[in-house]
Structure 1
């Protein structure tokens, strides 16, 4: 493979390109000592900040604080691909089995509305996050992908998507995006491009202006439930916070908390971004609608055209080894950079000379059944949300609104959604979970390669079927 062209400004890590572009925020002061609040939120990412936002909007006199070991948006909220979509990573059948099909359909419809909710709140609160609601396009580049895409759209239309919400498109009449070798595409309007760091830092400023206290550089070592007459507690290196309710909003960092090591598996996701692409090259590529774009491979990649005309592309990585750091500055392995570059140039051969300016990685939280959850345990006083896998930008907003209703004791359409109270057993201990993930990832990659080489064969590789049936996939 030809060498990957790198910009003179190339950087690897440093949290993310998004923060490099917008600038790292000035750190807020840490917790000054022991404190008392009505609600204490652990984690200043999207979930924690949305929860604090909706609580203060609903009840302004509520005393709310957010504690964060780094700074607001340091985790996945400031590193993701900028995909605000109605996609849901969980199993529709599992939720329907416990609550009925209508409840799962309601959850899917709620996620569609959530895309508009985020766009609306950002506009109302003056958060400029480069938002463009151009929808999402999924492209297939071989017969097997085409069949799988069509079947998936049929499946989704049976679980809450109507034909206007997701459908196959005629490539000859759709707005042009010159994806090399595309044989078919699907489209959903329920998606928007965002700038992740601008959204999370803007949201933090709004939350602070509402009266929420955000304490950064405050590592949490333990969350204690209510015991008898003693209220829940958040134990930090700078003091202990007592509150009526404690919300754990730590996503991929959950395993660092005492007693939470096997709840959600930390999984890495990596990205690269090019230098700004020349206008004459964009004329050949198209992509004028700024749709979100991903392929229909098993090991799929996702991309966006940024506000300053770069291409940012990412893909899910592997599970982290036991003892690996979830709090890294985002350095990406050379192999991950090479894989993303190959995917980018496979989609758009014309950008093969566009230098890569930045590479970075982040960590997301994956439950064993890949199904996210939101919950509040009245007895312990502890609430939590997460396990979004790869669809957290919108889902975290829905979680924040749901936690608001649960904490305030409201019975609403949101609190009756089937992901509320969803429980799943923890992951196997290391190194079993890491080894299993490596096997699944290898099977999917081999399946993608075989499907791309199978001339005209419209069937998913048996290796992918095997990977899909493996426990915990």
Structure 2
């Protein structure tokens, strides 16, 4: 098996010939109108929309590794337009209409991303597809019905269908499927192709991307790096799951770990047994949750939590993951699709995503310091980062728009607890989820109370 130890931080880079070489680092002190820290989706979309709005604006991007090193090049390829955060938490500081507007804006990111890739000639293997969530036991089916009811109640009834067991099975031959919900308007994407295409586009627009440049500190008007200082009145922190590595930000967003495996290409006969002809994004209603896609060349990419959190908000080593995590993900794959038993796993890797204390994403700009941010996507960054880029564009340019009035703008939440409380809380949550899933799979007729306890532990 080729894991991330072969030099690629994910299969997606192996798919395009390997991880890229580095761009030159920051060559010394610089002045700019905007400095963007982090060259992933969030930073690149922000630079793209700023340059499109004002070609004269001077932008400097700094990146510790290479553009797309983090979650932007390692995710599951779900361009979902999804909204899985707590509507009730956003409601506390806004209105029902504002939350609905935010949800519709998120849904609109799918069309927007596709439009930009077509306009800029970015080939990212994008295929429009539904987002299919399945239930494989009675408690999951109960949660699925509740999920469908709640989603529909927020002015989304035209975007979702409830599927019977047979209707779900006709799409993908999931073992013991009890029912499904398909949300329309999503798409499959090859993450590394998208982020590398965006980086090349931003460079063509005149934005330098300084790689191999480690940020040592961020303060008003000043980003200090190991290669020099960038002075800029506006600074955008676009570091998502790596935010904890910036001095002074250790407890701001928790770096939650997620891992993926990719199979060998499946035979035509096996695909005939499985179905999946619609290339749907696939997830389940287990508490621990998994996510999957059918790739361009007929592989299955399957993701889940693995080791959920490393003590002290540490991150992985260039995508390397554990053998136990690979085995867990393969077990999930064969549980859902027993047809894949014996299929070789070709690649495995992991990465981190950012989690705010209230598990709700945010974007904003502090006018006093000139420091802006976006992230805490909790696994929905492929599409949400696009809305971040457009929102930050408007905030930086001082334009009051529908986007700047959305309820996620300028939200602030309390920090995560010091260690060892963070580690104990997150690991306890996922242990409780695991036990709850096992009990439900064994025949528990209703949702395990352990799952509710897990949610209370961390505010999930």
1:20 is matched with which residue? 14
Please state if 1:467 is matched with 2:454.
yes
Shift in Å, 1:173: 4.3
Name the Cα RMSD after superposition.
Answer: 1.4
1:48-447 correspondence runs (5 A)? 48-161=43-156, 163-173=157-167, 175-225=170-220, 232-323=221-312, 325-326=314-315, 328-447=317-436
Contact 2:255 2:313 in 1 (8 A): no
TM-score w.r.t. structure 1 length?
0.94
Contact 1:108 1:160 in 2 (8 A): no
Shift in Å, 1:333: 1.2
Contact 1:114 1:397 in 2 (8 A): yes
State how far apart, in whole Å, the 1-side matches of 2:371 and 2:3 are: 43
Q: Secondary structure of 2:260's partner?
A: strand
Q: Which runs of 5+ in 2 are unaligned?
A: none
Shift in Å, 1:224: 0.8
Contact 1:376 1:403 in 2 (8 A): yes
Contact 2:23 2:209 in 1 (8 A): yes
Shift in Å, 1:107: 0.4
Q: Secondary structure of 1:133's partner?
A: strand
State how far apart, in whole Å, the 1-side matches of 2:143 and 2:93 are: 27
State how far apart, in whole Å, the 2-side matches of 1:394 and 1:160 are: 20
Q: Secondary structure of 2:171's partner?
A: coil
State how far apart, in whole Å, the 2-side matches of 1:306 and 1:222 are: 39
State how far apart, in whole Å, the 1-side matches of 2:232 and 2:343 are: 52
1:229 is matched with which residue? none
Contact 1:274 1:358 in 2 (8 A): yes
Shift in Å, 1:345: 0.3
Shift in Å, 1:469: 2.1
Shift in Å, 1:80: 0.3
State how far apart, in whole Å, the 1-side matches of 2:5 and 2:298 are: 20
1:228 is matched with which residue? none
Deviation per CA, 1:284-323: give whole Å up to 9, x if none: 1110110100111011110000000000000124443334
Q: Which runs of 5+ in 1 are unaligned?
A: 1-6, 226-231
Deviation per CA, 1:59-94: give whole Å up to 9, x if none: 011111110000000000000000111222421011
State how far apart, in whole Å, the 1-side matches of 2:91 and 2:198 are: 33
Higher helix share: 2
Deviation per CA, 1:181-236: give whole Å up to 9, x if none: 101000011211100000000000000000111100001010011xxxxxx11100
Contact 2:309 2:427 in 1 (8 A): no
Contact 2:80 2:380 in 1 (8 A): yes
State how far apart, in whole Å, the 2-side matches of 1:351 and 1:10 are: 19
